[in-house]
Amino acid sequence: MITAIKPATVPLRFSLPIGGVAGTSFKPEHLPAILEAGPQAGFFEVHAENYMGAGGPPHRALETIRRDHPLSLHGVSMSIGGPQPLDKTHLARFRSLVARYQPALVSEHLAWSTHETSFFNDLLPLPYTEATLACVCDHIDQVQEAIRRPLLLENPSTYLTFRESAMSETDFIRGIVARTGCGLLLDINNVFVSATNHGFPALDYLADFPLAHVGEIHLAGHAEQTDDDGNLLLIDSHDGPVADAVWKLFEIIIARRGPVPTLIEWDSSIPAWPILRAEAAAAQAILDRCKLAAATEDRHAA
């Protein structure tokens, strides 16, 4: 049973969908610099859990940002990929944030983070089987039912595989989309990280990914380690600039898919605001080039 909460809602000031706009993670330490620069064209994404307190400075900052910019609400701990039932209290909190802030985008992960009563604060992997597919779809149905809108589900970055997996990740994700009608958040850095870690071509994965359902793209930096055999092992660290190879994949995907909202994700070793904004501007330039190319094609066709 979900407790009925009627929070004050902030009126929508942006027509949906927001289209080919670049955005950044919102970090409270950037708020003064953002406000000083005045309203910008981009959107801001926040981790939902950071705004699940009752009141105080976090909500004030988010209200301030939301007044002039589209918002993306990104959940990181719903544990949709876990076998146990969703935490109803957490789902109610998530729903109440969606109702209060009316975000342009709402997303969560194909991963799990809670087992029994322990919360592990990481996006943990799952096997891809008929049983886990049914379970994940059941959880997404519950989330979409609660928030009354489609959820964008993010593809994971992984460091290992489950021996029991019986289908590919892209087959699994296509199955989810077909059964739940959810949208997808395509994290291109995650694709690059997983492709490197498991030794498959990122472009093969992307060719197999249901691009038509992608409602948002994530770009982020990664770190390098090695596994026991000395193979390169990439870590999805979100602590630096987007890698050249990931930018290249992004250009290919945008040319194929058309412009979609694109986020520069930067969650640790956070740089000064102008550096983060410059990364978003680089993404925006690629999105704009694609829009221009499409417009030119239209003129030629006319």
Instruction: Give the CA-trace dihedral at 282, 287, 292, 296, to 10 degrees.
Output: 140
SS3 category, 240: coil
CA distance 63 to 207: 39
Longest distance between any two alpha carbons in the chain, whole Å: 61
Instruction: Give the CA-trace dihedral at 231, 218, 139, 126, to 10 degrees.
Output: 0
User: Considering only residues 200-239, where is the footprint of another protein by CB under 8 A?
Assistant: 225-229, 231, 233, 235
Residue 100: CB minimum distance to another protein, A: 13
Close Cβ partners of 88 (under 8 Å, ≥ 6 residues apart): 1, 2
Which whole-number Å values give the CA distances from 80 to 1, 107, 124, 134, in the listed order?
18, 11, 11, 11
Token pair listed for 69: 């910019």
Compare residues 11 and 230 and give the one whose CB is closer to another protein: 230
Q: Using CB under 8 A, which of 7, 53, 181, 274 touches another protein?
A: 53
Q: Using CB under 8 A, which of 120, 256, 272, 293 touches another protein?
A: 120
Amino acid found at 256? R
Establish if 118 lies at the interface with another protein (CB under 8 A).
Answer: yes
The secondary structure element, H or E, covering residue 194 is helix 188-198
Q: Using CB under 8 A, which of 3, 64, 84, 296 touches another protein?
A: 84
- Residues 163-202, one symbol each (x = binds another protein by CB under 8 A, - = not), give xx--------------------------------xxx---
Establish if 87 lies at the interface with another protein (CB under 8 A).
Answer: yes
Residue 246: CB minimum distance to another protein, A: 19
Stretch that binds another protein, among 16-24, 53-61, 143-151, 282-290 (CB under 8 A): 53-61
Q: Using CB under 8 A, which of 122, 145, 171, 251 touches another protein?
A: 122
CA distance 109 to 18: 21
What are the residues binding another protein (CB under 8 A)? 49-50, 52-60, 76-77, 79, 82-84, 87, 90, 112-122, 124-127, 129-132, 134-135, 159-164, 197-199, 225-229, 231, 233, 235
